[in-house]
């Protein structure tokens, strides 16, 4: 478990991360969402032990991560701009990571290079952006660490490679208990892979919640009433209501059965309960605590 306790980090007068507290449970895919400049990269570097917090602390299984080699060998960080040694090849990176990470799987590394069509002896500087990201992911997967921190890792990958990445992460979670932490500015990218999502804005956490809990607690209903629409829906907390002609769209804070029980009292020409997207849920939840999240969420 990664425990982030009241962590802050500034670069001179620029406040990158401010008083962040989070708990990242083992065995979950944690999605860290925020626009560019929100503090995602800094927070990941703090978790990886690359940076030291100005305030607060980060513990992994109760041990501080900074300046602690025993803890850091269980964390692999993939930067948004993966770095490789000048003039190096994939085989060179394999040797270096094998020395750095005691459980690095060289056989799997060779197999994944072949599966992804990457030449192990070609200079990495001649790889495309997407190929370099693929290589970085392969290094991270094969390192054998318990935690894999990915900063905008899917940026530059085509849809096939994105699906391959998701499959790799899912397989390693099931087989060896890998815990991925994925940072992105795109909610849609994380929706179908993450169990828990935190929204970072201007260095602080606005919202952190399990996706399943977020979605189960909100219901979206579209309907056309036979007669006039009711002025209110007794027994339900209406989060939002939009009317376009006779078509009404409600979002209510309740369970599905509770919402159905209330709406069953009315007569409809048309009625259905829809699934909310993660973006819709975030917009509604952050507006509820006083933020207009539409201004800074990128879809």
* Co-location of 206 and 222 in the same domain: no
Whole-number Å distance between alpha carbons of 56 and 100: 28
Pick from 25, 44, 60: which is nearest to 17 by CA? 44
Looking at residue 289, what is its pLDDT?
Answer: 64
Query: Of 152, 175, 210, which one is at a domain's C-terminal end?
Result: 210
Query: Using one digit for the tens of pLDDT, what is the confidence trace for 164-176?
Result: 888 999 999 999 9
Helix (H) or strand (E) segment spanning residue 27: none
Helix (H, G, I), strand (E, B) or coil at 255: coil
**pLDDT > 70: percent of the chain:** 95
Looking at residue 290, what is its pLDDT?
Answer: 67
Looking at residue 299, what is its pLDDT?
Answer: 46
Q: What tokens does 106 get?
A: 């060289």
Query: Of 210, 234, 264, which one is at a domain's C-terminal end?
Result: 210
State residue 61 phi and psi, 5-degree precision.
50, 40
- What is the CATH number for 143? 3.40.50.300
Whole-number Å distance between alpha carbons of 271 and 247: 10
Looking at residue 294, what is its pLDDT?
Answer: 61
Looking at residue 153, what is its pLDDT?
Answer: 80
Q: Which residues of 234-262 are buried (b: 16+ CB within 10 A; e: fewer)?
A: eebeebeeeeeeeebebbbbbeeeebeeb
* Co-location of 193 and 270 in the same domain: no
* Co-location of 93 and 228 in the same domain: no
Looking at residue 26, what is its pLDDT?
Answer: 94
Looking at residue 298, what is its pLDDT?
Answer: 46
90-100 and 106-115 helices, crossing angle to 10°? 150
Q: Which residues of the chain have pLDDT under 50?
A: 298-299
Q: What tokens does 43 get?
A: 């927070």
Question: In terms of residue numbers, what domain contains 264?
Answer: 217-295
* Co-location of 144 and 29 in the same domain: yes
- What is the CATH number for 284? 3.30.70
Q: Which residue has the tokens 């369970």?
A: 255
């Amino acid at each position: 478990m990664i425990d982030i306790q009241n962590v802050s980090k500034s670069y001179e007068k620029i406040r990158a991360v401010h008083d962040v507290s989070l708990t990242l449970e083992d065995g979950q895919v944690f999605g860290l969402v925020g626009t560019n400049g929100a503090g995602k990269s800094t927070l990941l570097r703090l978790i990886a032990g690359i940076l030291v917090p100005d305030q607060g602390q980060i513990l992994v299984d109760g041990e501080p991560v900074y300046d602690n080699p025993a803890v850091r060998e269980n964390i692999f960080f993939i930067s948004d701009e993966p770095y490789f040694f000048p003039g190096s090849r994939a085989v060179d990176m394999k040797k270096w990571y094998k020395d750095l990470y005691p459980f690095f799987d060289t056989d799997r590394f060779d197999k994944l290079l072949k599966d992804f069509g990457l030449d192990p002896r070609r200079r990495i500087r001649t790889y495309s952006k997407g190929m370099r990201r693929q290589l970085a992911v392969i290094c991270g997967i094969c390192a054998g660490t318990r935690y894999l921190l990915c900063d905008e890792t899917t940026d530059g990958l085509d849809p096939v490679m994105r699906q391959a990445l998701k499959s790799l992460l899912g397989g390693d979670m099931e087989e060896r208990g890998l815990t991925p932490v994925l940072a992105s500015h795109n909610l849609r990218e994380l929706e179908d892979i993450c169990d828990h999502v935190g929204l970072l804005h201007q260095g602080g956490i606005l919202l952190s919640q399990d996706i399943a809990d977020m979605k189960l607690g909100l219901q979206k209903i579209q309907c056309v009433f036979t007669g006039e629409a009711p002025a209110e829906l007794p027994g339900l907390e209406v989060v939002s209501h939009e009317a376009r002609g006779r078509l009404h769209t409600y979002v209510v804070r309740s369970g599905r059965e509770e919402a159905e029980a209330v709406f069953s009292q009315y007569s409809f020409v048309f009625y259905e309960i829809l699934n909310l997207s993660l973006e819709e849920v975030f917009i509604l939840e952050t507006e509820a605590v006083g933020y207009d999240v539409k201004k800074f969420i990128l879809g």
